[in-house]
Amino acid sequence: MTFRTSLQTLAAAFLLLAGSFATQPLLAQSTLIQNAPGRRVLSLNGRWNYIIDPYENGFYDYRREAFDQSKSGKGGYYDNAKPSTKQETELIEYDFDHADALQVPGDWNSQRPELLYYEGTIWYKKSFNLQPKAGKRYHLYFGAINYEAHVYLNGKKLGMHKGGFTPIQYDITDRLNPGGDNFVVVKADNTRRPEEVPTINTDWWNYGGMTRDVFVAETPQTFISDYKVQLAKGNMGQLAGFVQLTGEAKANQTVTLSIPEAKITQQVKTDGEGRASFTVPARKLTLWSPQTPKLYAVTLSTGTDQVQDRIGFRTIETRGADILLNGKSIFMRGISMHDENPLIPGRARGEGDLRMLLTWAKELGCNYVRLAHYPHNETMLKLADEMGLLVWGEVPVYWTIAWQNPATYQNAENQLSDLISLGKNRASVVVWSIGNETPLSEPRLKFMSSLAQKARSLDDTRLISAALELHRTPDNVIHVDDPLGEFLDLTSINEYAGWYWGGKPSEITKYTFDIKYNKPVTISEFGGDALAGYHADADTRWSEEYQEALYQQQIKMLSTIKNLRGMTPWILADFRATRRQHPVYQQGFNRKGLISSTGVKKKAFYVLQEYYRQLAKQYDGK
């Protein structure tokens, strides 16, 4: 569990202090700095020495006691111990400096053949030199570590974090070595567990390790730690938001919001907690949309700090069956995607990978992407802002979660809070999804409805959704009456007629839909596998022609849904998945991609592209 509240942190610190005087108290995982990558940073990307530790010998002694909970707090690999004499008087059975290195950011599975299926602990170590400046604070920031991370600086524990797709951040100002030489050690453990989020079964590769950027961000002692600058809910002529300062001098500070191109300059004063809310008239804005992805230079400044961001302004809401972007009804022409580069299978490693994926989506004719099934890199959201793509963001509350475990719920809520915190200033983000294909039960409904309410409390300016459950009856009616639908703004469903059920593509137009809610409907998934280059007739599964026919028939079948206002077929590109073991057609890949794992566009790509061209003409008049 990540220490989130000051009370929990104090309790943890007391327990640690009571137990041992050698280890310093854990640091609270500090509230994520908004737009941290936009700060002055010391990058720690690059080669990190690593040790594979399936028995966790670097964490537990031979009686399975955690070294970092012992009286001395020492003994684990995080000491980065070195022999003090040439004779190596002390017995030390590890040595990072003579160990091999992994590239960070990057999952370990795709970097070493022997690690392709590895699930367990790998230790990472990196030395760095940082000469701290007076009046500055330093924040160690990991874009994501899958799944559980224990972080140590200069042999002392900073904290533990769970969640494989959201940032981890510690204020290390008081933990840096005066001389400037420091080393950070991370215990990354991607072991799947039933009570975690996601749980033990998913349909994606369990890529482990430090999969996103790592850096140390510098801020003033008192700095702008968080802010939101967006249009007020449903009001195209008014900005609303807040700014939060952190540091001793956070109270009673004047903060200036400046958007020169919109001729906006507004000053606000923070309260005793360092927070100030604001509303600002904004009449002459060019509103953000996929056709005109207008971004404004926004500056927030105090006497000691200044942050810049590029922010788009738009409204998103629903009215009956319609989704209204800036008050105009739209159709969300989307595609689903994983955070994976199919050409070099593994977690997307940086902006190049992300830009390639979104460029493919644009080529398909999309104005929308579903970033499944977990928080993607925050760079992805900035690129979507810039390229004009609406975004569905999601937490990995996927399939058979431990609905009755309070720690599981808290974990899901933590990940949802981070997802929303990271995306709240991104015009492209229009949907927060609280989960995917979760089986009906009372505990599941309580868990998911609480998550929906939490999402709405954190951000009432965006739509809340989830991939709901459906059921079929012998009269070929597809019923959508999942009780979770009551709590959502969009009725979204994954349906696999023509692949998992319903016969061949030519037979699926027999289905009709009975949807309980009078809300906009989006099809969050449909699709089928095709091995690129395998050609046969339209009835032959795994062939490109079968997938092509499936898309043609799905479009026909779905067009009968009068409230249909969007879709994100599954999926842009083939991706690695351990469930997919057919040695001829799959080879460990889920082949539902419209683009193969070698970048080849399959025939179905062009079916969807043509459909989206027609929809663009119908809705956007172009």
Residue ranges binding ligand GCU (CB under 6 A): 203, 373, 436-437, 494, 525, 570, 590, 592
- Dihedral angle at the C-alpha atoms of 213, 216, 220, 226, nearest 10 degrees? 30
Question: To which residue do tokens 């533990």 refer?
Answer: 160
CB nearer to ligand GCU: give 353 or 495.
495
| Least gap, CB of 437 to ligand GCU (angstroms) | 5
| Least gap, CB of 374 to ligand GCU (angstroms) | 11
Is residue 175 within 8 Å of 156, Cβ to Cβ?
Answer: yes
CB nearer to ligand GCU: give 294 or 338.
338
- For 230, the 3-state DSSP assignment is strand
CB nearer to ligand GCU: give 496 or 606.
496
| Least gap, CB of 315 to ligand GCU (angstroms) | 29
CB nearer to ligand GCU: give 404 or 586.
586
| Least gap, CB of 385 to ligand GCU (angstroms) | 26
DSSP 595: B
Distance of CA 240 to the CA centre of its chain: 25
| Least gap, CB of 54 to ligand GCU (angstroms) | 28
Tokens at residue 620, please?
């956007």
| Least gap, CB of 358 to ligand GCU (angstroms) | 20
- For 569, the 3-state DSSP assignment is coil
Residue with the shortest CB distance to ligand GCU: 203
> Which among 284, 311, 308, 551 has a CA at the least distance from the CA of 425?
311
Amino acid 101 reads: A
- For 426, the 3-state DSSP assignment is coil
- What is the C-alpha separation between 72 and 173, in angstroms, rounded? 23
| Least gap, CB of 547 to ligand GCU (angstroms) | 12
CB nearer to ligand GCU: give 315 or 438.
438
CB atoms within 10 A of CB 138: 21
How many residues are given for the chain? 622
- What is the C-alpha separation between 68 and 76, in angstroms, rounded? 7
Q: What's the alpha-carbon Rg for the chain, to the nearest Å?
A: 25
CB nearer to ligand GCU: give 196 or 203.
203
CB nearer to ligand GCU: give 125 or 592.
592
Q: Which H or E element spans position 201?
A: none
CB atoms within 10 A of CB 463: 24
- What is the C-alpha separation between 162 and 166, in angstroms, rounded? 9
CB nearer to ligand GCU: give 340 or 525.
525
Question: To which residue do tokens 């042999």 refer?
Answer: 155
CB nearer to ligand GCU: give 148 or 437.
437
Does the CA dihedral 219-225-231-237 come out positive or negative? negative
CA distances from 564 to 172, 418, 499 (A): 50, 30, 21
| Least gap, CB of 325 to ligand GCU (angstroms) | 26
| Least gap, CB of 579 to ligand GCU (angstroms) | 8
